[in-house]
Chains A and B, each alone.
Chain A
Amino acid sequence: MWPAVCRNRSVEILKERPDLVDQMNNFRTKIDNVLKIICRKHFQVDATYMMSGVRLWFQSGQDCYDFIIRQPEFEWEVHPELSVMNTITSQLQTFEIVYTPTGITID
Chain B
Amino acid sequence: MKSAYITVVGNLPVRFDIEQAKKLGPVIASGNTNKSISFDYATANSETNLQDMLNSSSFKHSEVLVPEGLFKKYVFFDGVTCLPDFPGLKSYDIDPEKCSPQTLSLMLSVYLRQTIVFLVGYDISNPTELTRLKSIMVANPNTKFMFICNPPRTYQLDDLANGFCDTFIKFQELIDRAK
Listed in ascending order, the chain A residues whose CB lies under 8 Å from chain B are 60-62, 64-65, 82, 84, 86-89, 93, 95, 105-107
Contacts and interface: CB of A to CB of B under 8 A. Distances in A.
B78 A87 contact: no
A87 B75 contact: no
B77 A61 contact: yes
Contact of B75 (A84, A88, A89): A84
B153 interface: no
A88 B76 contact: no
Interface string B53-96: 00000000001010000001101111011111000000000000
B84 A106 contact: no
A60 B63 CA distance: 14
B16 interface: no
Given A95-B72, A106-B72, A107-B72, A88 B81 contact: yes
Contacts of A89: 84
Interface residues of B, number: 16
A95 B167 CA distance: 45
Interface of B: 63, 65, 72-73, 75-78, 80-84, 108, 111-112
Contacts of B75: 61, 82, 84, 95, 106
A34 B5 CA distance: 45
Given A87-B81, A89-B84, 4 more contacts: A60-B78, A61-B75, A88-B84, A88-B111
A21 B81 CA distance: 38
A64 B76 contact: yes
Contacts of A106: 72-73, 75
A75 B61 CA distance: 35
A88 B65 contact: yes
B72 A86 contact: no
A78 B129 CA distance: 45
A67 to B, nearest CB: 10
B76 A62 contact: yes
Nearest to B77: A61
13 contacts: A60-B78, A62-B77, A62-B78, A64-B76, A65-B76, A88-B65, A88-B83, A88-B111, A89-B84, A93-B82, A95-B75, A106-B73, A106-B75
A107 B84 CA distance: 17
